[in-house]
Structure 1
Amino acid sequence: MTGWVIGRRQVLAGAGAALAAPVLGRAQGAPIRIGEINSYTAQPAFLQPYRYGWTMAVEQVNAAGGVNGRSLETLHRDDAGKPEDAVRLAGELVNAEKVALLSGGFLSNVGLAIADYANQNRMLYVASEPLTDALVWSRGNRYTFRLRASTYMQSAMLVEEAAKLPAKRWATVAPNYEYGQSAVRWFKELLTRARPDVTFVAEQFPALGRIDAGATVQALAATNPEAIFNVTFGADLTNFVRQGLTRGLFERRRVVSLLTGEPEYLDPLQDEAPENWIVTGYPWDQVNTPEHAAFREAYRRRWNDTPRLGSVVGHDTVMAIAAMLKQTSAVETEAMVDAMAGLKFGSVFGPVEFRAIDHQSTMGAFVGRTVLKNGRGTMADWRYADGRDYLPPDDVVRALRPQS
């Protein structure tokens, strides 16, 4: 396995330049240019694998002859986790570079900023990762579509397991921005609906990337919860876990945790990874469906590394865009938007559809519990939760989403 250290200079060297994958098939004519914006230097643990998955997918599409005889070309840009930079870069890609569509996005607030730009400027935006429900519901628009299972969907998956626990007193901890606030709101609402005897005794909302883990753990412990819903990720999660273990926060308490089963966040913890947490994640080495096995092997051959969830998200974003382009006779925004609504394509995790009603894809997530194996954290007793089973009915969606 290759080392997982990546420097700022290395990321920036690729993020600001056009990436045109080699064309090995018969693609001819002007390339179809995709403007991809992401927080490469702010969130490298997820976005370097994402970039690898994206690059591999572009290479695969182009090697097969491209789309309608044209190759795909990506212009990557780094927003550094700042919404204002993302909007500025979107403008440059659209107006100066003449890209056909926009894609990418990691942080929810950044994704919302790009979506607003896309709506105002009538440009297709295929959002890869931003999990906020606002992206497809309260602030949804005609031009924005989202690939990954949303905050609501993953919270609903976890509530299904949390409701089985005997715990009645719950506390929550989440980063203080759109994604964290949305996750806590939906988890509380859905769990209370499933278990009316549950009460929430504490909430902690540390600043993203600046958690005071000791104080946060102490505040949670002071309320004596029986279970904890965690939404922190990245370095915040690492600090929270270490302080929680040191101070005994997790002893005799169950933890339900969003995203923690993803290798991007488990790997840095090594043998400090928490055990028996109920999580959403990605057991990459245990999923042996034909689609996933083929992807895993191709990724290993291309990068001499193992896939992370970001790898899947990057790869499938490109494959969704390619599937959409194959259904259009011209690379024109309104035609592409029409093709995205109801689009079905084969993802690494199986068949996925972008629902016409809200532009949310039905990509699911893996739900299981964390265990230590060979000195690292992984998932056990997992299942794949199909996203279509964790979305609200159409009448609820119509009430949540404005006309667009």
Structure 2
Amino acid sequence: MATEIGRRGILAGATLLATPGLVRAQGEAIRIGEINSYTAQPAFLAPYRNAWVLAVEQVNAAGGINGRRLETVFRDDAGRPEDAVRHAGELVNAERVHLLAGGFLSNVGLAIGDFARQNRRLFVASEPLTDALVWAQGNRYTFRLRPSTYMQAAMLVEEAAKLPARRWATVAPNYEYGQSAVRWFKELLTRAKPDVQFVGDQFPALGRIDAGATVQALASTTPDAIFNVTFGADLTNFVRQGNTRGLFERRRVVSVLTGEPEYLLPLGDEAPENWIVTGYPWEDLNTPGHVTFRDAYRQRWNEAPRLGSVVAYDTVSAIAAMLRKTGANTETEGMVEAMRGLSFPTAFGTGDVTFRAVDHQSTLGAYVGRTALRNGRGTMVDWRYADGARYLPADEVVRGLRPQG
């Protein structure tokens, strides 16, 4: 597969991305320290890294930022917060990077965010979805791109509230992201439909789901509908066992992330139908901006983009927009100020998104739709773009959730 990343290549350490044949930028390079769970979450992060390479190449081919090219030093945290913090220290002190970026798992993102706070270094978090990253544990130096668990739960609750289902069960990985997603879905759906009941919760360990036992436990609660937060291999196992044991028969499922091609395509013709999901309809999304991005990605990597591709491309786009705003000045406090209220275009082609000054959360949205089978594989249908700005609490609410200062 074109996006496959060799384990040896990841663990070898620094990879500096520059294209001397294309780049004509002069002056000291702007160095980005990118930390991610490449070996732990390859389905998302292989296409992520490809798009990161593409975005950096495009910036440098256009002359860099005020004559300074971008370079990236990659590190693999293997899904371990302690490794992420160690890499952050090495990147700042030995590699002399100007800012940090990346993060996939929520617990890893929180660890890097705390490092950024303590060491007063800018951290542009691309993927970690935990609300704590910008609210309860938010800080001056940490900004987040992806729509959070709160935002995606709110998007799905709009659809869940329309269902006749009264009895709900939930299943989610037992760490910060899964717990937060379930908590917000329960709270928001109860506000929308006070008569709903939550009759059972399953929290299997991340990456180690006993899918048969989990499905049996959920079925024993006789729910009308299920809220699912599993992803990756856990999702695959859950769907297969659920199909085998009839869990999804005559029950609606509302599911975070399942419409993302990273997780939907591996299911092949076993992909569930009529689940309400957040995801990425890459085949059918034909805004001019997305077509340009999709064509460039295909030309560079000879395959279609995944949602990880969009996340990486948008992260680099945001960093480049910030650096243009500072005039390529990489002094940390100046970069932080430039990030607050920063607007930049998204590869979705839906217009600019903004990092809110109040909490450093971007207004990037997500696509909400239903799953269906097309030509023997899963896809999204009846989708719509949910603008992230519509699913964020008001500033006065956020100030009560976030440490001051």
What is the distance in 1 between the residues matched to 2:84 and 2:112? 6
For residue 73 of structure 1, give the secondary structure of its aligned residue in structure 2: strand
- Which letter maps to 2:362? S
* Residue 372 of structure 2 is aligned to residue 371 of structure 1: yes
Q: Deviations over 1:143-187 (max 9, x none)?
A: 000001111000000000000000000000000000000000000
Structure 2, unpaired ranges of 5+: none
Among all aligned residue pairs of Structure 1 and Structure 2, give the percentage whose two residues are the same amino acid: 78
> Aligned pair 1:86/2:87, yes or no?
no
1:343 matched residue in structure 2: 342
CA separation in 2, counterparts of 1:4 and 1:77?
17
Letter in 2 for 1:369: R
Partner of 1:65: 63
Q: Equivalent residues in 2 for 1:162-181 (5 A)?
A: 162-181=160-179
1:356: how far off? 0.2
Q: Secondary structure of 1:397's partner?
A: helix
| Aligned residue type for 1:365 | A
TM-score (norm 1): 0.98
Which stretch has the larger CA shift, 342-351 or 90-99? 342-351
Q: CA separation in 1, counterparts of 2:197 and 2:219?
A: 16
Which residue type is aligned with residue 355 of structure 1? R
2:18 corresponds to which of 16, 21, 29: 21
Partner Cα separation in structure 2 for residue 222 and residue 76 of structure 1: 46
- d(CA) in 1 for partners of 2:379 and 2:5? 23
- Tell me which amino acid in the other structure corresponds to 1:258: V
Give me the whole-angstrom Cα distance separating, in 2, the residues matched to 1:139 and 1:53.
29
Q: After superposition, give the CA deviation of every residue in 1:74-96 in whole Å (9 maximum; x if it has no partner).
A: 00000000000000000000001
- Residue 120 of structure 1 is matched in structure 2 by 118
Q: Is the 8 A contact 2:113 2:123 kept in 1?
A: yes
Distance 1:319 1:6 in 2: 23
How far is 1:140 from its partner?
A: 0.2
User: 2 CA distance for matches of 1:356 and 1:184?
Assistant: 27
Structure 2 residue matching 1:327: 3-state secondary structure = helix
**1:215 aligned residue:** 213
Quote the residue 1:327 is aligned against.
325
- Counterpart of 1:395, as a letter, is E
Cα shift at 1:6: 5.1
Cα deviations across residues 208-254 of structure 1 (Å, max 9, x unaligned)?
A: 00000000000000000000000000000000000000000000000
1:293 is matched with which residue: 269, 291, 294?
Answer: 291
Shift of 1:395: 1.1
Match of 1:248 among 246, 249, 252: 246
> How many angstroms apart in 2 are the aligned matches of 1:385 and 1:157?
7
Are 2:38 and 2:45, in contact at CA under 8 Å, matched by a contact in 1?
Answer: yes
Specify the alignment match of 1:380 in structure 2: 381
**Cα deviations across residues 276-303 of structure 1 (Å, max 9, x unaligned)?**
0000000101000011000000000000
What's the Cα RMSD here? 1.0
More moved, 343-352 vs 135-144: 343-352
**SS where residue 217 of structure 1 aligns?**
helix
Shift of residue 20 of structure 1? 2.0
The AA in structure 2 aligned to 1:376 is: R
Q: Is 1:361 the counterpart of 2:359 in the alignment?
A: no
One-letter identity of the residue aligned with 2:404: Q
Kept in 1: contact 2:326–2:338 (CA 8 A): yes
1:26 to partner: Cα distance:
2.8
Q: Letter of the 1:309 partner, please give it.
A: L
Query: Could you tell me which residue of structure 1 aligns to residue 139 of structure 2?
Result: 141
User: Which amino acid is the alignment partner of residue 83 of structure 1?
Assistant: P
Q: Which amino acid aligns with 2:372?
A: V
- Encode CA deviations 1:119-161: one digit per residue, 9 max, x unaligned: 0000000000000000000000000000011110000000000
Corresponding position: 1:394 with 2:395: yes
Aligned counterpart in structure 2 of residue 274 of structure 1, from 272, 275, 284: 272
TM-superposition CA deviations, 1:14-38 (whole Å, max 9, x none):
xx22222214243101100000000
Q: Report the Cα distance in structure 1 between the residues aligned to 2:362 and 2:385, rounded to whole angstroms.
A: 15
* Counterpart AA for 1:139: Q
SS at match of 1:331: coil
- Following the alignment from structure 2 to structure 1, what is the Cα–Cα distance between the partners of residues 47 and 9? 14
User: How many residue pairs align between the two structures?
Assistant: 401
TM-score w.r.t. length of structure 2: 0.98
From the superposition, tell whether residues 31 and 6 of structure 1 become closer, same or farther in structure 2 (CA, over 3 Å).
closer
